[in-house]
């Protein structure tokens, strides 16, 4: 039986029939369940170059200063994010 330490919690891995059958299998899991490396590192590697879409809800100084930031609300993210205004790609307004 192998011992794995996680913080102050000690976990013991017992080989069983299910774990032996996992090798080379495709599995699903949540990023929050990743033990190592940090989930944030994995997500950055996977999604660092993706374009996100959100709605500007505020500006740090009316957006006119060189180092202005936009406060952006992204669906499915609980906390708004700050992005430098000069890094934004403005999307055309859709006619609804």
**26-52 residue pLDDT tens:** 999 999 999 999 999 999 999 999 999
The number of folded domains in the chain is 1
- Print the domain residue range for 74: 2-85
**31 lies in some domain:** yes
* pLDDT, position 94: 79
> What does the alpha-carbon distance between residue 3 and residue 78 come to, in Å, rounded to a whole number?
37
Q: Is the pLDDT of residue 68 over 80?
A: yes
- Domain assignment present for residue 96? The answer is no
Look at residue 46 and tell me if it is in a domain. Answer: yes
Instruction: Give me the helices (H) in 7-94, please.
Output: 17-20, 39-47
- Whether residue 10 has pLDDT greater than 60: no
């Amino acid at each position: 039986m192998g011992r794995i330490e996680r913080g102050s919690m000690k976990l013991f891995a017992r080989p069983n029939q299910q774990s032996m059958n996992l090798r080379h299998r495709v599995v699903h899991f949540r990023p929050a369940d990743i033990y190592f490396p940090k989930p944030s590192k994995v997500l950055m590697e996977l999604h660092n170059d993706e374009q996100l879409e959100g709605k500007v809800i505020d500006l740090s100084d009316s957006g006119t200063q060189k180092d202005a930031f936009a406060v952006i609300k992204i669906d499915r993210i609980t906390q708004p994010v700050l992005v430098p205004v000069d890094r934004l790609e403005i999307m055309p307004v859709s006619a609804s």
